[in-house]
Amino acid sequence: MMPNPEKGCDDLKAIFFNHIYAIRGLGKRKRWGLTAAISGAHTIGSAKLNNSGYEGNWSDPKNSAIFNNNYYHAIVGHGWGVNRAINGNENKNNWKRVDVQMKKEPFEMMLNTDMCLAY
């Protein structure tokens, strides 16, 4: 089971954080660290509208095919604004770059579960 991006921190905590709790001796900070590491899979690839209802890359085109830490830098280093009703679906919302002019699709985006890691 994967966290529902629309439920943000609550689902990220329910799906990953609370299950990591089963590992003995891990404190709250360490569990959130492991949750962030799992979410780091977003550092490569992209979301496709026909697969998930979301569309866009978590990293810029140069970095979206490289397993690096650009995803984490993007969360805190870029300006993000709410992008509601993706493709007309009121149940699909995400965050899009608002600090630069996006010239073509798919654009850089984050989900509520991504933004939860920083905020």
* Predicted TM-score of the model (pTM): 0.88
List the CATH number of the domain containing 109. 1.10.420.10
Q: Which residue has the tokens 């919302």?
A: 93
Q: What is the number of domains present in the chain?
A: 1
Q: In this model, does residue 104 exceed pLDDT 70?
A: no
Backbone angles phi, psi at 103, to 5 degrees: -90, -25
Per-residue confidence at 88, pLDDT binned at 50, 70, 90? very high
Q: Which residues contact 61 (CB under 8 A, 6 or more apart)?
A: none
Dist. CA 37–CA 39, nearest whole Å: 5
Region 85-103 average pLDDT: 90
Structural domain including 101 reads 5-116
Interval 11-62: pLDDT, tens:
999 998 888 766 767 888 888 899 999 999 998 889 999 999 999 999 988 8
pLDDT confidence of residue 22: 65
pLDDT confidence of residue 93: 97
Report the range out of 7-11, 26-30, 102-106 with the highest average pLDDT: 7-11
Region 81-109 average pLDDT: 89
Burial of 26 (0-12, 13-18, 19+ CB in 10 A): middle
